[in-house]
A and B are shown apart, each in its own frame.
Chain A
Amino acid sequence: MNDYLWLIPFFPLLGFLINGLLGRNFSEKMVGIIGAGAIFLSFVTTLLTFKELLTLEPEHRIFIQKLYTWMATGNFSVDVAFRFDALSAVMTLVVTGVGFLIHVYSIGYMHGDRGFFRYFAFLNLFTFAMLLLVLGNNFLILFLGWEGVGLCSYLLIGFWYEKIDYANAGMKAFIVNRIGDFGFLLGMFLIFKHFGSLDFDQVFSNAAAVPPGVITAITLLLFVGATGKSAQIPLYVWLPDAMAGPTPVSALIHAATMVTAGVYMVSRASALYILSPLALSVVAVIGVATALFAATMAITSQDIKKVLAYSTISQLGYMFLAAGVGAFSAAIFHLMTHAFFKALLFLGAGSVMHALSNETNLMKMGGLRKHLPITFWTFLVGGLAISGIPGFSGFFSKDEILWKAFSSPFGSPVLWGVGAVAAGITAFYIFRMIYLAFYGESRVDPEVALHIHESPKVMTVPLMVLAVLSIIGGYVGIPHVYMGLEHFLEPVFEPASVAMAAGAAGHASASTEFTLMGISVVIALAGIYLAYQLYVMNPEKPRQLAQSMHGLYTLLFNKYYVDEIYQAVFVKPFVNLSNVFFWRFFDVKIIDGIVNGVARIFGNIAAGLRRMQTGIVQMYALSLMLGAIIIFGYFILR
């Protein structure tokens, strides 16, 4: 067994404590070394553990380390225990590996910021919570990490809290997530009610014994949690605003790791989901709808980070599509490749902003290819990967998902079709962004243009590493390769794959697979070509198009008015209700009334009792005597 599992989350926690408590007095270099070093140690530990895991037989590839019993009341007992199986291993490697690169990058990106140590402390705390989430051996530890990452997300979105907009964005993320967490909590309660335990093994092995209706309720409630954390319809609204945080934070939390927690959780609970076809279809439909919906919104966004944010929402939709058709390993596969290329794109965007004095407006970029060669090439790799161009990682994972959406017993051609269209749009908006930022005439503000410079090594090296990973990351997933990812993850998703195999008889053939693959590649290439035509060959064309399709453009530009609708439907009425009823009536009249009433009662009693305080010493002495008499009397009569 492996007794060092606890070290993986421990190092980031230690880093958080050191930097958080003492970092104020450290130099930037010191803080950076502690912050990144903690993640590096954690990464090395993960690698060693992973190596040990691989030496075992596939069916026994699981380490469980119980640290202590957290709480035990009645028949409710929760252990603080870590679980390192194939799924956790992939997640942990992504979190620590990508996390380490982003920590290193941050040293350069955050250089000179007043909150440097605070930033690194939060980032380490985030990593700790995320590791808790993926390593936890029961739903409560998972939830602990889940809340922890939510907290860190809030802290880091509002990192520059002097700006009211940024602080509000943090609150929005927190509140929207809370709605999802509520569903998650209810799901956990249901699990405990029907399984009597929150332990993964006990829940999943007894899943078949619980009525299907209950399973459906549990899985749907858990999925509500996932939509909050992973920014799916209808709770995705916080993620675009979350771009207020520092860009490496967007890369780590709002692209690579935290937002994928929902996917992880659904995959972890695959044994439950597979028992409920209804829940699966809900997941798949929400996923594919989000993929398409978010992709369309990305088309008109002029903010480089917002484009990437919508892109993240869209890609998360793909992951849920995969999970919804029962292809959990495809979901995790895409999660992994997405972590690579989306972190790369975000860090690239950060590098662009770094060069342009934090300019995020695509309309004020252009022609940056010459000035930022490393950023450009790595960004291009990321763009090709996310567009699904063969040879890059995104191609393998996205194609896997689309194929499963088509061929799985839970899938359908409609899901495939919508997914393919979204993939085409993805290619279009990504290359729109690349062309706007790196090609054509420079539209940079003159005084900013003077300072354009390539980022320092500490930022470009992580970019290059991520670029390499974005290319080769896909090859672990090719199904027929020895030790492929799907094969590796199989023990974890065993109930799911059994169910899939049962329904998949004679459904799929290799030729269909390759035809579909060809179609999706053609769609992607068409998207890129369209972007090239519109934004490089005829730069005037987009504006004309926008005018000719004014209604659609405005609708997209305003993000379907979802924020406004939410504001009008949920926020306003609730604010008014609180204002009129909860505050002016309930709080003032009832709550304050009770409190003040109690105080007044005691005030009146005291007003009477204080007459006893005559100020005459002998009165006091007399009462002292009476007390003595009573005590003596007690001893006599006893």
Chain B
Amino acid sequence: MPLTYYLVLGAILFSLGVLGVLTRRNAIIIFLSIELMLNAVNLTFVALSNHVQNLDGQVFVFFVMIVAAAEVAVGLALIVAIFRLKETVYVDEINLMKW
């Protein structure tokens, strides 16, 4: 089975994630999209690990998951904190970093 299939699938999933980050306003959905992007990359990692006959890629996937878990924990806490402050999770209504 060609490696190309997996890579193309990874690219498609990644692009869907990008699209979600760029177009959705809900911070939680943006977060989900980021998770999707991470998983697309993980899939590519595993596929290439299989292809080059080296388990290091899978270990990397493992670490990506750990980082993703940490990121989700902190990120969701941030969303909760912002929601308390601004009563919204829509990123276009949160522009505290404006000039």
Contact = CB atoms under 8 A, between A and B. Distances in A.
B21 A615 contact: no
Question: Which 6 A-B residue pairings sit nearest by Cβ, starting from the closest?
Answer: A615-B95, A615-B98, A610-B99, A613-B99, A615-B97, A617-B91
A616 B91 contact: yes
Contact of B91 (A610, A613, A618, A625): A618
B98 A621 contact: no
Given A616-B91, A616-B92, A621 B99 contact: no
A622 B94 CA distance: 17
A614 B91 CA distance: 12
Given A614-B98, A615-B97, A618-B22, 8 more contacts: A616-B91, A617-B94, A618-B21, A618-B23, A618-B91, A621-B21, A621-B22, A625-B22
A618 B92 contact: yes
Interface of A: 610-611, 613-618, 621-622, 625
Contacts of B21: 618, 621
A270 to B, nearest CB: 73
Contact of A613 (B30, B94, B97): B97
B22 A613 contact: no
B85 interface: no
B18 interface: yes
B1 interface: no
Nearest to B98: A615
B70 interface: no
B99 A611 contact: yes
B73 interface: no
B52 interface: no
A625 B21 CA distance: 11
Contacts of B91: 616-618
Nearest to B96: A615
Nearest to A618: B22
A615 B98 CA distance: 4
Interface string B1-36: 000000000000000001001110000001000000
A617 B97 CA distance: 9
B95 A622 contact: no
B61 to A, nearest CB: 21
26 contacts: A610-B99, A611-B99, A613-B97, A613-B98, A613-B99, A614-B98, A614-B99, A615-B94, A615-B95, A615-B96, A615-B97, A615-B98, A615-B99, A616-B92, A616-B95, A617-B30, A617-B91, A617-B94, A618-B22, A618-B23, A618-B91, A618-B92, A621-B21, A621-B22, A622-B22, A625-B18
A618 B98 CA distance: 13
Contacts of A622: 22
A614 B97 CA distance: 7
Nearest to B25: A618
Contacts of B18: 625
Contacts of B97: 613, 615
Interface residues of B, number: 13
B85 to A, nearest CB: 15
Nearest to A610: B99
A616 B22 CA distance: 11
Q: Indicate the member of A611, A617, A621 with the most B CB atoms within 10 Å.
A: A617
Interface string B41-53: 0000000000000
A611 B95 CA distance: 13
A501 B82 CA distance: 100
B77 to A, nearest CB: 17
Contacts of B98: 613-615
B39 to A, nearest CB: 18
Contacts of B95: 614-616
A364 B22 CA distance: 94
A624 to B, nearest CB: 9
Contacts of A610: 99
Nearest to B18: A625
Q: Indicate the member of A611, A613, A618, A625 with the most B CB atoms within 10 Å.
A: A618
Contacts of A617: 30, 91, 94
Interface in B74-99: 91-92, 94-99
Q: Indicate the member of B21, B91, B98, B99 with the most A CB atoms within 10 Å.
A: B99
A610 B97 CA distance: 11
A119 B38 CA distance: 70
A622 B19 CA distance: 10
Contacts of A614: 95, 98-99
A376 B99 CA distance: 83
Contacts of B22: 618, 621-622, 625
A605 B92 CA distance: 26
Contacts of A621: 21-22
Contacts of A613: 97-99
B49 to A, nearest CB: 22
A610 B98 CA distance: 9
A615 B92 CA distance: 8
Contacts of A625: 18, 22
B27 to A, nearest CB: 9
A616 B99 CA distance: 11
A610 B94 CA distance: 18
A613 B94 CA distance: 13
Contacts of A616: 91-92, 95
A152 B75 CA distance: 64
Contacts of B30: 617
Nearest to A613: B99
B41 to A, nearest CB: 13
Nearest to A617: B91
A615 B95 CA distance: 4
A603 to B, nearest CB: 14
A614 B92 CA distance: 10
A244 B95 CA distance: 68
Q: Indicate the member of A611, A613, A614, A615 with the most B CB atoms within 10 Å.
A: A615
Contacts of B96: 615
A625 B99 CA distance: 22
A621 B33 CA distance: 13
A616 B96 CA distance: 9
